[in-house]
Structure 1
Amino acid sequence: MKYANIRRLMMAVVQDQDLDLALHTLKEMDVPAIHMVSSGGFLGRRNATLVVGLPDDQEETVIKALSKSCHQRVEYLAIPLEGSPLPLPSPIPITVGGATIFTLPVDRFEEF
């Protein structure tokens, strides 16, 4: 059993643009990850949820690796101007990206 000491379940929501680099980074660290397509958040954009099983001592290392591979970026959201006779959108800068990470304790792990 290669992964017998799994004690943490990490779920990392990353932007679609960062997915390949995040998966490559985890693979280089020999950290298995399950990738699920997801969407939501403020902009309702497509993103990815990575599910990762970890031993206790790898949690901080994986968080640091994901922080290097998942970057924040500025995108512009067109908001119509209120009270304008023409529907002229006003671009508003929005910071998106990075990663949202949840870590939960694992009471039981089985591999068969």
Structure 2
Amino acid sequence: MKLVLAIVQDDDAMDLIEELTDKNFRVTKLATTGGFLKSGNTTLMIGVEKEVVKDVVKVIEDVCKRRKEMVSTPAPTTIGSGSGMYMPYPIEVEVGGATVFVLDVDQFYKV
């Protein structure tokens, strides 16, 4: 048995959960927070047999596409010298995709 941990952007989470459950995979959702833009993300835990890990990863790849978005800078930029005025500026960043870990499971109980 394997445990697939998939960390995905919040915008992709519900579509991914729906797709996984439609394919009869059981999913547990955890709300988590990313470090780079302090944006919300979701960690999904999916317990599967070793033989279907590739199927789960394929679904994740199909749903969680990388894309570019404009976001405000996490820390504002000072304008002028010592004016005390802060102005955030937009930057283009790549979002989406997924970070996936596949872990061995020694024991599994459903009680």
Q: TM-score normalised by the shorter chain: which range applies?
A: 0.7 to 0.9
Q: Tell me the C-alpha RMSD between the 2 structures.
A: 1.6
Identity rate of aligned residues, in percent?
32
The residue type paired with residue 38 of structure 1 is T
CA distance in 2, matches of 1:58, 1:32: 13
* Deviation, structure 1 residue 41: 2.5
**Deviation for aligned residue 1:10:** 0.8
- CA distance, structure 2, for counterparts of residue 45 and residue 81 of structure 1: 20
Q: Distance in 2 between matches of 1:37 and 1:89?
A: 27
The aligned residue for residue 16 of structure 2 is 22
Q: 5 Å matches for 1:6-85?
A: 7-79=1-73, 80-81=76-77, 84-85=79-80
Cα-to-partner distance string for 1:23-66 (whole Å, 9 max, x where unaligned): 01111110000011111231111111100101001101110111
- Name structure 2 gaps, 5 residues minimum: none
Q: Give distance in 2, aligned partners of 1:102 and 1:48.
A: 14
Question: Scaled by the length of structure 2, what TM-score is found?
Answer: 0.84
Q: Which runs of 4+ in 1 moved over 6 A?
A: none
Which consecutive residues of structure 1, in runs of 5 or more, have no partner in the other structure?
Answer: 1-6
Structure 2 equivalent of residue 107 of structure 1: 106
Give the CA deviation at 1:96: 1.1
Q: Which secondary structure does the structure 1 equivalent of 2:14 belong to?
A: helix
Question: Hey, what's the Cα distance between the residues in 1 that align with 2:50 and 2:38?
Answer: 33
